[in-house]
Amino acid sequence: MGNKPSAVESCLISAVGNDKSLVAGQSTIGYQLSHVKPYNLDIPVNPSAVTYPRSSEQVAAIVKCAVDNSIKVQPRCGGHSYANYGIGGEDGSIVVDMKNFQQFSMDKTSWQATIGGGTLLDDVTKRLHDNGNRAMAHGTCPQVGIGGHATIGGLGPSSRMWGSALDHVEEVEVVLANSSVVRASEDQNADVFWALKGAGAGFGIITEFKVRTQAEPDKTTLYSYGIQAGNAQDKATAFKKWQKLISDPDLSRKFASQFIMTELGVVVTGTYFGPQEEFDSLNISSRLPDADESVIVLDDWLGVVGHWAEDLALDLAGGIQSHFYAKSLAYTADDLLSDTAVDTLFKYVDESDKGTLAWFLIFDLEGGATNDVAPDATAYAHRNALFYHQAYAVNLFGAVDDTMRDFLTRLNKVVTDALGHDLGAYAGYVDRALGEDGPKMYWGIIWRGWKGLRGG
């Protein structure tokens, strides 16, 4: 901080017990690199301060400082917001970094775990494993934090079996915009709890989660099929077969799958949460084009989750700061692409100038247990989603340009034009270009100028 702290800086220092090491400001040496740490380098953000509270009371005091000074305040856990909303999303905000909230305990009667709001998914996995061989559904990037992940959705390979990460949440401790610290569950502050399960960042800062857990699977089968698809038509044919496979209403919920296309080709990959003989009975290889097949069986849950983290897409844009742009769409069972639409889409991808070789298109199977929850039970909007697509363009050498943005924008338009209607988008893949259409696509609501945890 500067030699003469401003009124806001003084308030923040007081909020954290006068420990100046817990507050960094714009004059702090190495501020952007060491404290701001933008995930998407294409969106520069300069918050007024980054704070590192150690207790819920300190979080509440920071929020009060922000509200009293009409400044936006935003929590950060893993800091993986695609639009850098984990650092406020705009200049002048106050960031509440949750890294010090690492508490953990396991009730070995109910198998309910208590997890600090600053815990990264890698640590969630290890701590659950070490305390009774337990697990919960979550995504595959180990550097993502539970704070944002379990309040916006939290989709991952085991979600078809167990639901999304937020479906595991049974109670939270949360700091609200009025700086009160409350517990929220279905039995207390139920309206707050409803909002936090799907739109958490706009309603509070969660300092502690209580989550239900599952027994780790005994054996897990990991599969990968490298599809021999050299041209657009071959790739389209592969996708048609994959779409038919994953839209089978009788498909086992133990089966998770992704269709991934990159500059290098097409891969169908995923997990079956059971032994190989069960996986083999699904006859997956016979329901896909000729492929280079790889199947391995693991009885080590940490090995399974570690394998997910080695995914090709994560290698390109997982835990590494970079310049990138991303868009998504949510498909229901009523939004299956016709053969003609698939041909058009893959022809477009094949022929387009993408502006980069580091691009990828992922179709990710969802459904199952996530869809068992009533649409109005939580703020998470896409209870009828069967699969999502995520499209990324990464520039390893500088800023994202118009060619890259246009490639992804027109890709989504090819889909919606073919279907004749708009689709939803996953709020975890936030896209600033959606503007005022964003809330409708993320949560099915019309934008009313909601300012989240903003004072004034």
Q: Please tell me the total count of domains within the chain.
A: 3
User: Is 306 within the bounds of a domain?
Assistant: yes
User: Is 23 within the bounds of a domain?
Assistant: yes
Whether 182 and 64 share a structural domain: no
> Which of 67, 97, 127 is at the close of a domain?
97
CB distance 380 to 164 below 8 Å: yes
Whether 206 and 264 share a structural domain: no
User: Is 382 within the bounds of a domain?
Assistant: yes
Whether 227 and 202 share a structural domain: no
Start-to-end C-alpha separation, the chain? 25
User: Is 270 within the bounds of a domain?
Assistant: yes
Taking 90 as the threshold, does the pLDDT of residue 305 lie above it?
A: no
The string of pLDDT tens digits covering residues 83-126 is: 988 777 789 999 999 999 999 999 999 999 999 999 999 999 99
What percent of the chain has pLDDT above 70? 94
Taking 50 as the threshold, does the pLDDT of residue 452 lie above it?
A: no
Nearest to 391 by CA among 358, 436, 420: 358
CATH value at residue 125: 3.30.465.10
Whether 46 and 132 share a structural domain: no
> Which of 174, 196, 215 is at the close of a domain?
215
User: How much is the average pLDDT of 118-140?
Assistant: 97
Query: Partners of 212 in the beta sheet?
Result: 112
Whether 262 and 378 share a structural domain: yes
User: How much is the average pLDDT of 164-181?
Assistant: 97
User: For residue 183, what are the domain limits?
Assistant: 104-215
Separation of alpha carbons 397 and 269, rounded Å: 29
Q: What is the pLDDT of residue 245?
A: 96
User: Is 430 within the bounds of a domain?
Assistant: yes
**Across 54-63, 255-264, 319-328, 338-347, least confident range:** 319-328
**Across 129-138, 227-236, 442-451, least confident range:** 442-451
Q: What is the pLDDT of residue 202?
A: 87
Residue 400 pLDDT grade (very low, low, confident, very high; cuts 50, 70, 90): very high
Query: Distance of CA 68 to CAs 12, 230, 380, 456, Å?
Result: 12, 60, 31, 8
Whether 81 and 155 share a structural domain: no
Whether 341 and 233 share a structural domain: yes
Whether 405 and 430 share a structural domain: yes
Residue 311 pLDDT grade (very low, low, confident, very high; cuts 50, 70, 90): low
The string of pLDDT tens digits covering residues 430-444 is: 999 999 899 899 998
User: Is 451 within the bounds of a domain?
Assistant: no
Q: What is the DSSP letter of 373?
A: S
Nearest to 306 by CA among 271, 338, 347: 271
CB distance 184 to 192 below 8 Å: yes
Query: Partners of 97 in the beta sheet?
Result: 76
Residue 303 pLDDT grade (very low, low, confident, very high; cuts 50, 70, 90): confident
What SS3 class is residue 61?
Answer: helix
What angle do helix axes 121-130 and 301-308 make, rounded to 10 degrees? 170
Buried b (16+ CB within 10 A) or exposed e, 304-343: bbebbbebbbbebbbbeebbbbbbbbbbbeebbbeeebbb
Whether 137 and 87 share a structural domain: no
> Which of 82, 97, 112 is at the close of a domain?
97
Tokens encoding 104: 């953990």
User: How much is the average pLDDT of 132-136?
Assistant: 98
User: Is 449 within the bounds of a domain?
Assistant: no
Whether 31 and 152 share a structural domain: no
Q: What is the pLDDT of residue 304?
A: 84
Nearest to 174 by CA among 155, 154, 190, 157: 190
Whether 312 and 385 share a structural domain: yes
- Of the CA atoms within 13 Å of residue 95, those in its CB half-sphere come to 33
Nearest to 168 by CA among 185, 181, 192, 188: 185
Q: What is the pLDDT of residue 46?
A: 95
User: How much is the average pLDDT of 375-398?
Assistant: 95
All residues at 6 or more sequence positions from 241 whose CB lies less than 8 Å from its CB, including other chains: 287, 288, 289
CB distance 121 to 150 below 8 Å: no
CATH value at residue 55: 3.30.43.10
The string of pLDDT tens digits covering residues 223-262 is: 999 987 789 999 999 999 999 999 999 999 999 999 999 9
CB distance 120 to 143 below 8 Å: yes
Whether 286 and 225 share a structural domain: yes
Burial class (CB in 10 A: 0-12, 13-18, 19+), 206: buried
CATH value at residue 330: 3.40.462.20
The string of pLDDT tens digits covering residues 26-44 is: 999 999 999 999 999 999 9
User: Is 454 within the bounds of a domain?
Assistant: no
Q: What is the pLDDT of residue 228?
A: 79
Tokens encoding 374: 């009533």
User: How much is the average pLDDT of 311-318?
Assistant: 52
Taking 60 as the threshold, does the pLDDT of residue 148 lie above it?
A: yes
